[in-house]
Structure 1
């Protein structure tokens, strides 16, 4: 089974989705609440899949001083998992190690593959609420025949990066990570890379607008939606409407 590592910051105002408040109707506190909701949807999807969920949180000593609180990062992410899942018995919680996102992701993948003997490892940033149980399982099947499997997000982002072997992770998640990860895999002899269907990621108001439009459409069609994210969107009355120039824009009803 694939170990799926959810790379997670504690959901704190100004730390979570820092560009969202400046580019959307949400404030910093709401951006943190949305980050928490999306993380819970991803936890639930992985938990229901054939993968093993590892919540890989950024510990307090790696957080900017302005975002350190009296509540530990581990306690906050454990609370999210307890709200999302019925049973935490099979869920692992481990602190991230490393000074940059690339280093932290690389350390996690390398440790699990080389030290723990995992057959395959995936890292998931948690800002893609449409990750599903089926998608996680399909990615695991792709990893049987490929060393790297990537899920493309918007603007070159990735919502899933699976590995059967290691690559040079030193700058793997530099913008755009989709291209960097593919290029690094190409540098390894006999590595093959496969891609999953594209899914919307959330970092800015424009990207959130894509998620809002999809969730609103799925609710209208009575189709399955990511529960926690959809609940927040409906509570806040978020919709996509036209601005004065006729362009789509994210607004509150």
Structure 2
């Protein structure tokens, strides 16, 4: 089974989606609530898949100074996981190691593959609410024959990165990460495959992709990520075309 390492920050102000308050109508508190909603949907998808869930959390010292509280990051994330899943007994929690995201992701993947003999490891973050159980299982099937399986996102990003062998992870997750990760895998002599492209959330611009897709799936009576959909509904988020400029904008209905 693939170990799905979710690199996640505790859901507190100053962590997760820090660019949203300045690029969208969402406040800092609301951006934090959205991050937690996406995290809940993600871990639920992983829990329902054939993968093993590992929550890879920062230490207090790795958090921005204004985001440090008296609560341990692991304890805060563990509480959310316990509240979200029916049975969280098999969920692993491990601290992140490294000074950048690429270093932390690379250290996690390399350790699991080399030291724990994991057959495959995937790196994900609470960045897309649309990573479903079926998508995770489809990626695991592809990892039986590919060295790396990548999930493309907008702006050259990557919403899922699975590996069966370590690669050179130095700065590999810096955008355009989907290109860099593919090139590094090929440089190491490996094969690359892909799963479906999905939008990710970092800035308000990203919500112009996420919110309409979420509302479209709801209108079509298809499965939607429950916690994220609830957040969007309760905050009245929608995307409209500006009559004057023709640009799409995120609004509150």
TM-score with structure 1 setting the length: 0.97
Report the secondary structure of 1:201's partner residue. coil
Deviation at 1:209, TM superposition (A): 2.0
Contact 2:148 / 2:191 at 8 angstroms: preserved in 1?
A: yes
Displacement of 1:83 in angstroms is: 2.2
Aligned equivalents of 1:15, 1:117: Cα separation in 2 = 32
| Aligned partners of 1:14 and 1:29 also within 8 Å | no
Aligned match of 2:214:
215
Which residues in structure 2 correspond to 1:86-165 (within 5 Å)?
A: 86-165=86-165
SS of equivalent to 2:233: helix
- 1:62 aligns to what? 62
Tell me the equivalent position of 2:15: 15
8 A Cα contact 2:14 2:66, kept in partner: no
Pair 1:239-2:238 in alignment: yes
RMSD after superposition: 0.9
2:128·2:200 contact (CA, 8 Å) conserved in 1? yes
Q: Which runs of 4+ in 1 moved over 3 A?
A: none
Q: Please give the per-residue CA displacement for 1:47-86, whole angstroms capped at 9, x wherever unaligned.
A: 0000000011111121122210111111111122122211
Residues 1:187 and 2:187 are matched in the alignment: yes
Separation in 2 of the partners of 1:90 and 1:229? Answer: 24
Deviates more, 1:69-78 or 1:42-51: 69-78
1:204 corresponds to? 203
Give 1:14 shift.
2.6
Q: Is the partner of 2:178 in helix, strand or coil?
A: helix
Unaligned 5+ runs, structure 2: none
Partners of 1:108 and 1:251 in 2: CA distance? 38
CA contact (8 A) 2:155 2:175 kept: no
Structure 1 residue runs without a partner (length 5+): none
SS in 2 for 1:251: strand
How many pairs are equivalent?
252
Give the distance between the partners of 1:163 and 1:10, measured in 2 at CA: 26
